[in-house]
Structure 1
């Protein structure tokens, strides 16, 4: 049975968070003389002289409408990377605890672990890029606090078997983090729907991919109220700036546009796969539920360097375990994809 108090760091249990001026009242006022701001405004056309809402209620209300998740179960971070870092700082005691990673996967999990002096136990995915449940079970000990699973997975693009993730959720006494950065491009349903069933589930999503807001740095975590309360206690008081909140809220009104772009991306993905299959140096294209494809080639580094020399940037993943000889290609616009294919046809 999951018990948050058994995995929470002792200093976090007793942590008294910083209380900002905006935390001390709710609603709007006509005169703000509480936060030592510049009352005259800012040099910009839009005034940013006031501190932003520390808990981003307007954005969360819109997310509640879209996702069907109560505000109390939503955390917003400066990108998903902040949510990842806060999970380490909240639940993992440096030099004592460990987390489980399942390579090949998103590299920031290991970077954040190293920054926080938390040991990583790596259990490679199978050759089909699925979880090795027996290996994970053997790697877990009394100091294992988090398991990170990226689904659809980066860099392989495939979705992880849902039943395998549910097995971990049902049996692991720590927190299972399911990173769904690419869920909008997948045929699989989100694990958000399972929040009420699993108290140890944290689902990460982002506005950087399908929503096209990578420059704003807005990430989301969905979890039980008690986990969200801990994350809000640990985060900086004003972690999402006012401009990002305003622009994110504006973007979240345009679901139809996003859905149209997702549909076009998937069409372009299928088209690009067919075109790549005709190239002699492409040996395998892995199934993808994301807005990118992993392509195995006879000369990954040579192809990467050739594309760079022609002003086209892809990702060389040939040195990543289980991705040897592979490059990762993001699905671009029709024009960008055509340029890529025409350039690759001239590769020798």
Structure 2
């Protein structure tokens, strides 16, 4: 059975939109796309009068090399959000199919499913934050098309080990696509689920340059999957998803110098994460600092609402995650610079009444 047998028949059968850039490339006089013949009179405007390459070859190749994959398995998207949306639209029929998630987790899986009219099945994480593979697999129904697993998980920071992911891929083969969200993978050092794609065509992996590569504003995400899945999603992705300045920013970040700076920044974050975990755990009013393999810490407080207000009054904005299942007393604190982290600790140590 092919993974495409799980996809919507109408998507498999449709003829994709053929953009001017897809139909022809090269040439010196470009009169096929109804673009302006002159660039805008703004700083950095050269070339912005032309539509960008739908999937820039240089960027696709750089990302394939970065993630130790093949260019035929790479689709570049506007952040991971677009890849999630494409997967849901390609595999879920409105009113018939479902996605499976393990809350507390990234909210866009459920949002994209509900926009599409797909059902959302929940298999909650354990109180410790661990994923119970047996319970997750027991929750899979014949209508389940996508199973989302976030590792490191947002907002708890816990990992799902590669052996568990392999088991899930095995059990879901012919039944559903296992979508592994590795947005925070660089902070964990764990083996990527992309290594399973040679063996399982029902594994898809989400990566992003938003976190460890400091490009949240550029919106560069990557889907790594079997080439048949990539081909399917290219049928429905918008014709020009990647703005040229964002592509240029990504290529600069992935250059030799960009990678050197990224390694330095990553080590700084890991060091600050360890320091903050220790210092926060010593503070009165802190119940627990959850172990994290990401660039944030989920922290349980005696008074999360009051703590949030104190930090906000000092100009420090953290994430209130008390609405998430099992995290009714928690705030999520991104690991900042050393000075930013010192400010957080100083406010919490002061204990100024809210």
User: Which residue is 1:271 aligned to?
Assistant: 275
Per the alignment, residue 334 of structure 1 pairs with 338
| Distance apart, 1:160 and its partner CA | 1.3
**Higher deviation after alignment, 30-39 or 125-134:** 125-134
Q: What is the distance in 1 between the residues matched to 2:290 and 2:214?
A: 24
Q: Give the superposition deviation at 1:314.
A: 0.4
Q: Distance in 2 between matches of 1:114 and 1:104?
A: 17
Q: Deviations over 1:179-198 (max 9, x none)?
A: 00000100312112222111
Q: Which moved more, 1:275-284 or 1:63-72?
A: 63-72
SS across alignment from 2:210: coil
Once residues 53 and 263 of structure 2 are traced to their aligned partners in structure 1, the CA distance between those partners, rounded to angstroms, is 29
**What aligned pairs does 1:9-48 form with structure 2 within 5 A after superposition?**
9-26=8-25, 28-44=26-42, 45-47=44-46, 48=48
Say whether the 8 Å CA contact 2:289–2:299 is kept in structure 1: yes
Contact preservation (8 Å) 1:130, 1:161: no
Q: Secondary structure at the match of 1:75?
A: strand
SS of corresponding position for 2:166: helix
Greater shift, 3-12 or 47-56, is seen at: 3-12
How many residues are matched? 346
Structure 1 length-normalised TM = 0.97
**1:17-44 Cα deviation digits (max 9, x unpaired):** 1100111134x32211111111122122
Q: Tell me the residue number matched to 1:240.
A: 242
Give the drift of 1:58.
1.5
Instruction: Tell me the secondary structure at the aligned position of residue 199 of structure 1.
Output: coil
Separation in structure 2 between the aligned mates of residue 54 and residue 92 of structure 1, nearest angstrom? 25
Partner of 1:55: 55
Q: Output aligned runs, 1:303-342, within 5 Å.
A: 303-342=307-346
Deviation per CA, 1:56-77, whole angstroms, max 9, x where unpaired? 2121111123222111100111
Give 1:1-348 correspondences, 5 Å limit. Answer: 2-26=1-25, 28-44=26-42, 45-47=44-46, 48-172=48-172, 173-253=175-255, 254-347=258-351, 348=353
The CA distance in 2 between the partners of 1:68 and 1:110, in whole Å, is 29
1:306, CA displacement in angstroms?
A: 1.2
Residue pair 1:73, 1:228 contacting (<8 A) in 2 also: yes
C-alpha distance in 1, partners of 2:107/2:29? Answer: 46
Q: Post-superposition shift, 1:46?
A: 2.9
Task: Give yes or no for contact 1:79–1:220 (8 Å, CA) kept in 2.
Answer: yes
Between the aligned partners of 1:202 and 1:37, the Cα distance in structure 2 is: 35
Deviation at 1:340, TM superposition (A): 0.8
Secondary structure in 2 matching 1:109: helix
* Greater alpha carbon shift after TM alignment, 67-76 vs 117-126: 67-76
CA distance in 1, matches of 2:269, 2:10: 46
Give me the whole-angstrom Cα distance separating, in 1, the residues matched to 2:63 and 2:322.
Answer: 38
- For the residues of structure 1 that align with 2:66 and 2:302, how far apart are their CA atoms? 44
CA distance in 1, matches of 2:197, 2:140: 23
What secondary structure sits across from 2:235 in the alignment? helix
Superposed displacement of residue 288, structure 1: 0.6
- How far off is 1:128 after superposition? 2.3
SS at match of 1:345: helix
Tell me the C-alpha RMSD between the 2 structures.
Answer: 1.2
| Counterpart contact for 2:162–2:192, Cα < 8 Å | no
Q: Which runs of 5+ in 2 are unaligned?
A: none
